[in-house]
Amino acid sequence: MFVTPAYAQAAGGAAAGLTSFVPIILIFVIMYFLMIRPQQKKVKAHRAMIEAVRRGDQVVTQGGLIGKVVKVADTEVEVEIATGVKVKVVKATLAQVLSKTEPAEG
């Protein structure tokens, strides 16, 4: 007599358990489109900007230094921040390219 209601309640438990995962899956989908995907686009654009840096470009570093690119190596860039003052900067720390120029001679 007491066992019958317990079996009746357990019969619908499988379908209810599956629907409880729907909000969690929905949260992950929303997070992907609002957070992860834009960040991936930003990283891709930054990587393309770094690869396109060449001699003569005016750049801003993440530290706030503004200068002109004098020499480009594989992982480093030599930036002239004042007349006669040259600084080696890691390419990944370039924040922005202010003005693109034509490649310099020599």
- 58 with 47, same domain? no
- 68 with 39, same domain? no
pLDDT at 19: 83
pLDDT at 6: 53
Q: Residue 22 is encoded by which pair of tokens?
A: 């729907």
Q: Report which DSSP code applies to 100.
A: -
Average pLDDT for 100-106 = 64
- 59 with 90, same domain? yes
pLDDT digits (tens, 9 = 90+) for 17-58: 778 888 999 999 999 999 999 999 999 999 999 999 999 999
In-domain check, residue 82: yes
Q: How many domains does the structure of the chain reveal?
A: 2
pTM above 0.95, yes or no: no
**C-alpha torsion sign, points 93, 96, 99, 103:** positive
- 86 with 41, same domain? no
Domain that holds residue 70: 54-100
What gap in Å lies between CA 88 and CA 77, rounded to an integer?
6
- 22 with 11, same domain? yes
What gap in Å lies between CA 104 and CA 101, rounded to an integer?
8
pLDDT at 5: 57
pLDDT at 36: 94
